[in-house]
Amino acid sequence: MKPFVAHEGQAVVLPVANVDTDQIIPARFLRKPRSAGYGNFLLHDLRFDANGRSVADFPLNRAEAPSFLIAGSNFGCGSSREGAVYALVDYGFRAVIAPRIADIFRNNSVRNGLVPIELPDDEYDRLAQAVEADPAREMKVDLQTCTLSHPALAPISFVIDEGSRKRLLKGLDDIAETAERFGAIEDFAASYRKDRPWTWPASPDKEAR
């Protein structure tokens, strides 16, 4: 998983509330292998019409390589579809910013290196307006200081729980985070075996005797 310390890039505004995981990546595309990348399928049925042509006025179709998505409230609601996060990451997004992000989607984001940022309505509105006024200007998210900056605005602070922040800063997925604790796990196992030897399987040599 790619660590996130600070990133600067363009943003795109998707001012639609309640975009669910089936809209983020329709279920029919989940039959394809992740190794091929899910970025082309991101928001597919909103980005393209029934004939597969790009919808000209859809925000993502007007943006050039955005890395921040300014989404509407309750983004990522619906099923617990981890493929929705895969699609955003594979497309090139590093963070999603919204007034509210659905709980399961938020957890899946952290586990895949996508920073979920919730902002109060007034700060969100100011940011969205600044991005829409000049989409070419880059903004920055700094996870060390938990600040978001845009040339047209004063810095905005955001809150993210410390466990999630650590995982994102260090690029730890579930396996890597567990691996960090191998020493403590082994120490506990040794202590447990010493204190409760009757709970430990007998060795083959001992069983033979």
**pLDDT tens digits, one per residue of 35-82:** 889 999 999 999 999 999 999 999 999 998 999 999 999 999 999 899
Q: Is the pLDDT of residue 207 over 60?
A: no
Per the model's pLDDT, the better-predicted residue between 103 and 195 turns out to be 103
Residue that wins the pLDDT comparison between 108 and 34:
108
| Confidence grade of residue 29 (pLDDT, cut at 50, 70, 90) | very high
Does residue 121 surpass a pLDDT of 60? yes
Tokens of 69: 């998505």
Ordered structural domains, the chain, with CATH:
6-197 (3.20.19.10)
Whole-number pLDDT of residue 82: 94
pLDDT of residue 118: 98
What letter would DSSP give residue 28?
Answer: G
Written as one letter, the residue type at 56 is: A
pLDDT tens, 75-98?
A: 999 998 999 999 999 999 999 999
Predicted pLDDT at 103:
96
Q: How does pLDDT run across 148-200, given as a tens digit for each residue?
A: 999 999 999 999 999 999 999 999 877 766 776 777 788 788 888 888 888 87
Q: Tell me, what's the pLDDT at 192?
A: 81
Residue 72 burial (10 A CB sphere; 0-12, 13-18, 19+): middle
Under the banding of pLDDT at 50, 70 and 90, the label for residue 1 is: confident
Q: What is the pLDDT of residue 206?
A: 52
Residues 6+ apart with CB under 8 A from 128: 13, 15, 70
Total Cβ atoms within 10 A of residue 146: 14
Mean pLDDT of 125-144: 96
Contact 152, 137 (CB under 8 A): yes
pTM listed for this prediction? 0.85
Q: Is residue 101 predicted with pLDDT exceeding 70?
A: yes
Number of neighbours of residue 191 by Cβ within 10 angstroms: 10
pLDDT value at residue 208: 46
